Structure 1
Amino acid sequence: MSVRPDVDVLLRTGPFHEALRAAIDRSGLTLERLRERLARRGIHVSLATLSYWRLGRSRPERADSLRAVQAIEAILGLPRHSLESLLGPPRPRGRWAARRRATGRYGSMLQPAQSLAETVDELVGPSDGNLRLWCQDDAVTVGGEGAIRRIHTRQVLLAVDGHPDRHLAVYCADPGTDPDAIVPEAVENCRLGRVRRHPAAPVIAVELLFDHALPAGQTHLLEYAFTVEGGTEAVDYRRAFRYPVGNYVMSVRFTEPRLPVRCFALSQHDDGPVERGADLVLAPGRLVHLTAKDVPRGVLGIGWEWT
């Protein structure tokens, strides 16, 4: 006899329709009773629509449908956003379907490029093209053995079109790092959505979900981090920008006893070669940083040399 997965497990792993079906079954409510409960809250969803959602024949995508999902979570006694986070971005339609591949690619800016594309493309949705970076701060910590241990990112995002409700964060660790050793964290003003790890390469892509969709012209401040358990010796940290950013700050803090003998700036314009820039001063607090304004599409980074 087969055993159906537990509701709490399905709420973490999905898919949406199976988690919804299991939660409804556990509640003891019929679809008709659920529809009535929604109507009492001023949310009107047809019985056929609820049935299609439960069977996986369609899924909620419009704003009123997402409000219905949030109400269903409350009616069924589920954690807030537990069902909603399983939906992912809306399915591409019209012109978006044609331009999805272009907006989802990093080209050769980060390596391994093929593994990156295989990890990222599934998560790229309309929100990706509707957000721009207003400013960003990356704080990197390098452990005493020379491996990158943590990257803490603070961003201000600007909605330029549509109603974006999520942001895609990507990290490519140094070769030889176990993909499962990269741990994402939603630090402030966001929550984790879907997480995709490449099965063989140290690449991870994470959805950062907002509490509400952003109208055009509105900004959103968030913080997230990646922690690397283990890892291999690093000689640089690079940040790729698919879209221009107004102001950018990168800092790298080195942990004693091992310190680099030299630090320097790195840059790459679009898909061109990586270029070494000016030397950077390692401050007494074992901290080195760089700043940039009106950053175009490309890569900025800090490199270092060990003894």
Structure 2
Amino acid sequence: MEYTNGGVPRPPGRSAFARALRDAINARPVTLSWLQRQLKARGNRVSMATLSYWRSGSRRPEGAQSLAALADIEDLLGLEDAALSRLLRPNRTGPLGVSGFPIDHREIEQAVIDAYTAMGSPYPDTSRELTTHSVTDVDERGNVSFCSTRSIVQSTTGTIHAIPFLEIMPGLPSPAPILRAVSGGRFTRHYSHPGGEVHGALFELDLPLEAPDTAMVEWSVEYPPGSPPSRDTGHAVGRQCRELLVWTRFHPDAVPDWCEEVVETPDGRSVSPVPLTRGTSVHQVRRAFGPGALQLRWGYGPADAEVQPG
């Protein structure tokens, strides 16, 4: 990100776009009035003032009509397709909200800090999840067997090259799960906390991510033999997420007798029943959620009975 002398962020990409537009106009060479007439003839009514703003960098094309005009400008100036539009990166991250550990558990947070330190990542890191879809499969014994997660991640400041992803299992010490990078990068460093409740790896992105750019990533988690049986799942975010979806899919032979939703934030914890009335899955959706954790847990027999998974 570029900065003015006063320390005020200057939107990345705006100066590059304006410079490219000026160079293309000068190389032709044409005037803004000629460009305006040609656009008008093509049905794009763009004012001289707007074209001047674009050329100077004080404004930039936004909205469907302006972007359609920009495509015609590229053609009129003899440029390649998207030669100008690809320079229009988003100029802001949007509201970031507060950043915080998603659950009220100091020992686990310290274990997470230890994990970040071991993987060479600052805590908290400067990425955030804009949209996350987490899908968990439950086996025929009613236990979690596999989880796949897709996220649109964003750099909130500076440039990031890698993002730590963690599996947090409070009260359930476990061997390290098998984390696989599916798309968008690769796992480089792996870490397991001595307590066995925090495991993770560093997801190295295919390309560096400069604020406020975004990238799509996907990874999966598989639980090896010897892992303790688990009948809860969910996803936690350290910053506000625009959309969080947790989808739990049960084996047809292990549809639970009851499910309940657990929502945990730094401010508290709430538990509410979730009726399983449609098919063999439960999906939970939250918008503008976080920091916090959205979880689902389930069981067989009376909901108030302490049933050990097996």
For normalisation by structure 2, the TM-score amounts to: 0.58
Q: How many positions carry a matched residue from both structures?
A: 203
Q: Does 1:268 align with 2:248?
A: no
1:127-146 aligned at under 5 Å gives the runs 129-146=125-142
Instruction: Find the counterpart in structure 2 of residue 55 from structure 1.
Output: none
**Corresponding residue for 1:220?**
215
Percent identity of equivalent pairs: 16
Equivalences for 1:175-214 in 2 at 5 Å?
175=171, 178-180=174-176, 182-214=177-209
The runs of 5 or more residues in structure 1 that have no matched partner are 1-101
Name the structure with the higher helix share.
Answer: 1
Match of 2:228 in 1: 232
Q: Distance in 2 between matches of 1:193 and 1:187?
A: 13
Deviation at 1:112, TM superposition (A): 4.3
Q: Per the alignment, do residues 188 and 275 of structure 1 end up closer, same or farther by CA in structure 2, a change over 3 Å counting?
A: same
Could you report, residue by residue, the CA deviation over 1:63-113 in whole angstroms, capped at 9, with x for unpaired residues? xxxxxxxxxxxxxxxxxxxxxxxxxxxxxxxxxxxxxxx979556359745
Deviation of the 1:129 alpha carbon: 3.2
* Greater relative contact order structure (CA < 8 Å, 6+ sep): 2
Equivalences for 1:1-307 in 2 at 5 Å?
108=104, 112-123=108-119, 125-126=121-122, 129-173=125-169, 175=171, 178-180=174-176, 182-230=177-225, 231-270=227-266, 272-284=267-279, 286-307=280-301
Residues 183 and 218, structure 2, Cα contact 8 Å, conserved in 1? yes
Preserved contact between residue 179 and residue 199 of structure 1 (Cα < 8 Å): no
Question: How many angstroms apart in 2 are the aligned matches of 1:174 and 1:247?
Answer: 24
Give the Cα–Cα distance (whole angstroms) in 2 for the partners of residues 149 and 302 of structure 1.
15
Contact 1:137–1:249 (CA<8 Å) still a contact in 2? yes
Q: Secondary structure at the match of 2:268?
A: coil
- Using a 3 Å threshold, how does the CA distance of structure 1 residues 257 and 112 change in structure 2: closer, same or farther? farther
Query: Does the CA contact (< 8 Å) of 1:136 and 1:248 recur in 2?
Result: yes
Which amino acid counterpart does residue 234 of structure 1 have in structure 2? S
CA contact (8 A) 1:152 1:225 kept: yes
Residues 207 and 282 of structure 1: CA distance in aligned 2, closer, same or farther (over 3 Å): farther
> Taking structure 1 as the reference length, what is the TM-score of the superposition?
0.59
Shift of 1:126: 4.6
Q: Which residue of 1 aligns with 2:8?
A: none
Q: What is the identity, as a one-letter code, of the residue corresponding to 2:250?
A: F
CA RMSD of aligned residues (A): 2.7
1:61 match: none
What CA distance in whole angstroms lies between the structure 1 residues aligned with 2:195 and 2:127? 30
* Contact persistence 1:175–1:201 (CA under 8 A): no
Structure 2: stretches of 5+ with no match in the other structure: 1-97, 302-310
- The AA in structure 2 aligned to 1:241 is V
Q: Is the 8 A contact 1:165 1:212 kept in 2?
A: yes
- Of the structure 1 ranges 253-262 and 241-250, higher mean CA displacement relative to structure 2 is found in 253-262
